[in-house]
Amino acid sequence: MRESAIDGFLEQVREIARIPPADADGDRVTGLFFVTHEVNGMTEWQIRGGQVSITPGDDRYRYLDA
C-alpha cells in the first residue's frame, strides 16, 4: 500500500472499530495489525473498545518485519 493511502485506510479501520455491539453481550470489533514502513519501521494497530490505538511495534514481533 502506498503511504498516500494510509490515512484513508486508517479512517476505514476507525469506522469499523466504531461499529456498535450487535447483541446484549456488548462484544465489539477487535483486531491487531502490524504495519511496516520502509523508513519508520513497524507500528502496532490495536482495535478494541471502539477505538484504534497506534503504538511502536514491540521488538518481539520484529521477525514479522522480515
Average pLDDT rounded to a whole number, residues 18-44:
91
Torsion of CA 57, 62, 64, 66, to 10 degrees: 120
Could you read off the pLDDT of 35-66 as tens digits, one per residue? 988 888 899 999 999 999 999 998 898 888 87
In the numeric block, which cell numbers belong to residue 7? 490515512
Identity of the amino acid at 28: R
Q: What pLDDT is stored for residue 54 in this prediction?
A: 97
Whole-prediction pTM: 0.81
**What is the count of structural domains for the chain?**
1
Q: Domain span at residue 49?
A: 3-65
Q: Could you read off the pLDDT of 9-20 as tens digits, one per residue?
A: 999 999 999 999
Distance CA(51)–CA(49), nearest Å, equals 6
- Strands (DSSP E) contained in the chain are 31-37, 41-48, 51-56
Mean pLDDT of 27-31: 94
